[in-house]
Amino acid sequence: MLRSTSVLVLLVLPLFAGCTAPAAVTTTTTAILPTATAAPPTSAATTSAPPPSVPATAVASPPAPAVTASPVAAVPTPDPNARVLSVQEPPLSGDDVLAVQQRLLDLGYRQLGARDGFYGPQTAAAVQTFQAVHGLEADGIVGPQTQAQLFAPTALNSDVIVPIVETALCQQHIVLGGSYGGAWFNNAATESLLRGGERYRLYGASGSAGETIGSAPTLDLEPPYNNQYVLSLDPPPADTALVALGGDWEVQPRLVQPIGDAATRSVAEAAVIDYLQGAGIAQPLLSDADRFEVQAVDLLNDGRPELLISATRFSGAAEAVDALPGDYSLVLLQTADEDVPQTLLVTATVYPDEEGASGNETEFTPRAEHRPPQTFDLNGDGQLELLVTSRYFESDTAVVYGLIQGQVVELLFAFCGV
């Protein structure tokens, strides 16, 4: 039986009114550590929805490894009787807020913007980033523990965060986010740390794709970037490159291995059929799928390889942009939990049978195709993350997923399109 994380339903926009067609149901894992499980969708609906938002500032993480901070300005002595600073209305202000802001700026946490003496959302965001780097609860509140760490001589500069940039979606390249010590940071938290001139190593599906240097990122509000931070890379990456990484560790220590074993592929096929039936396709067809791939890779470096399963079927003409009832595209991850296989949903778009449709009338439902995942160690912890690129109608996405506490979790996200 398929076990998925909590799912977010993204629905394809009906462009024109016309003949009846089933709606596509897209499911993907959430950006926050899941607390419950959910079954695949059993009915469809049609509405419009914006592209998924960028994940929260940081995903909970273990304490960061010890790193010596670079020299900064003289460190004030923390006040043991200092008040707790948090976002309030009206905002807190005073010398203690100024001291916190100056210390954050000295350490490079420039999200707060100007040092104005008011404890607002931008200052809280910078505090969250600082807390995540140091393995503290990232709540944006300066209490005794955060204050002691902030004003300690061993406080870490922001440049310990390693930037991660996607290179395959648009002409300019989108800041996916960053990582340090097991914590993940969204693009807004990461871009504020980049001044331009950073060196990146490029990677594609088959290995290293050279090196490049990035410009300072800028916020692009218009399509195709849609309120994301973008930068240019010089020299430009080859078409085979997928990510640019600022770290210096082995990014692809374990490559995926295609599986041709009939018994293993039969187990994978059963998992796909089980999911599709739960999502509204009574008799899924895998025999004429455009793509059915099964790969093995040891994501957690524990000697127990996981299976990456990807399947796509579009029954219309190859050049068509619309999907028909019974079409699908999905990525599943099968793990071994005490030798009992567990199937987890990574992402899927399913076009249910007509009897499972919502009855809304649309002229066509655009195809959504999820490509086989690529694996990279994007934070240097020896475990591998999944990078899944997807093609929607006039748009593309790149999403980084991690296998955390037995669940698939969305970590970083980038979107290019209209």
Domain that holds residue 115: 68-155
pLDDT in the model for residue 167: 95
* Each residue's pLDDT tens digit, 232-279: 999 999 999 999 999 999 999 998 999 989 999 999 999 999 999 999
Residues 351 and 287 in one domain: yes
Tell me the DSSP string of 330-364. Answer: EEEEEEEETTEEEEEEEEEEE---GGGS---B-S-
CB 64 within 8 A of CB 180: yes
CB 202 within 8 A of CB 210: yes
Euclidean distance between the first and final Cα of the chain, in Å?
A: 37
In a domain, 62, yes or no: no
Q: Which amino acid is at 184?
A: W
d(CA 384, CA 379): 9
In a domain, 107, yes or no: yes
Residues 266 and 354 in one domain: yes
Plot region of 210 (φ>0 → left; ψ -120 to 50 → alpha; else → beta): left
Residues 322 and 270 in one domain: yes
**What is the mean pLDDT of the segment spanning 5-18?**
28
For residue 115, pLDDT over 60 is answered with yes
* Each residue's pLDDT tens digit, 343-394: 999 999 999 987 444 444 445 689 999 999 999 999 999 999 999 999 998 8
Work out whether strand 328-337 and strand 306-313 pair parallel, antiparallel, or are unpaired.
antiparallel
Residues 28 and 103 in one domain: no
For residue 118, pLDDT over 80 is answered with yes
Taken in order 271, 275, 278, 280, is the CA torsion positive or negative?
negative
**What is the mean pLDDT of the segment spanning 330-350?**
89
Output phi, psi for 144, to 5 deg. -60, -40
In a domain, 61, yes or no: no
Residues 288 and 398 in one domain: yes
For residue 403, pLDDT over 50 is answered with yes
Residues 312 and 409 in one domain: yes
Residues 105 and 149 in one domain: yes
For residue 71, pLDDT over 50 is answered with no
In a domain, 60, yes or no: no
pTM of the full predicted structure?
0.79
Q: Which residues of 156-182 are buried (b: 16+ CB within 10 A; e: fewer)?
A: bbbbbbbbbbbbbbbebbbbbbbbbbb
Exposure on the CB side of residue 263, measured as CA atoms within 13 A: 0
Residues 306 and 232 in one domain: no
Output phi, psi for 370, to 5 deg. -105, 125
Task: Tell me which of 245, 268, 299 is where a domain ends.
Answer: 245
The pLDDT-based confidence of 120 (bands split at 50, 70, 90) is very high
